[in-house]
Amino acid sequence: MPEKPNITGRKILKDQVCLDETDRKILAILQHDCTMPVAEVGRAVGLSTTPCWRRIQKLEDSGVIACRVALLDPKKVNAGVTVFVTISTSQHSLDWLERFHEAIQEFPEVVEFYRMSGQVDYLLRVVVPDIESYDAFYKRLISRIELTEVSSSFAMEQIKFTTELPLVYSEAGAAERAA
């Protein structure tokens, strides 16, 4: 990934955005509750409404804020069973990869999908109402594309879940830690 120098002389990745302390405070608030009115966010970070709104717009325009969503309670929407599915394949052609990616997009039960390093090629996080629904998902998956090995692990208990990303690794945060 291309790198470019910043004013501190340190290199940052092309996609990384420099955030100052105020930006990080705004992001922390919005990660916790994106429905908070801009005026309240501004008060919490020491800005009036307009400058705060401008910063939020800049964060959205730069892609730091990718979207604003509602997080649902899986049990209340009958998707309370989480299954981690590891997949290994002997197929490594670009054609197969594209077909596999396309196939996975057809499954709303798959809420996360990763290509991995190591012994496992792919990791899926699947949410379903029950084991029978997972079995139906599994049968649809293996009928859709050829796989070498599929292993499923059912989550017994969710110990921690958050969508809030750590902001201490942002460029401004890294500079402060180095000081």
Select from 75, 74, 25 the least CA-distant residue to 46.
Answer: 25
pLDDT at 10 over 80: no
Domains of the chain: 3-69 (1.10.10.10), 74-154 (3.30.70.920)
The pLDDT of residue 7 is: 37
Mean local confidence (pLDDT), 36-60 = 97
Question: SS3 of 81, please?
Answer: strand
Class of residue 61 by CB neighbours under 10 A (exposed 0-12, middle 13-18, buried 19+): exposed
Select from 14, 36, 28, 57 the least CA-distant residue to 167.
Answer: 28
Question: SS3 of 58, please?
Answer: helix
- pTM confidence score: 0.81
Give Cα 155 distance to the centre of its chain. Answer: 19
8 Å CB contact between 127 and 111: yes
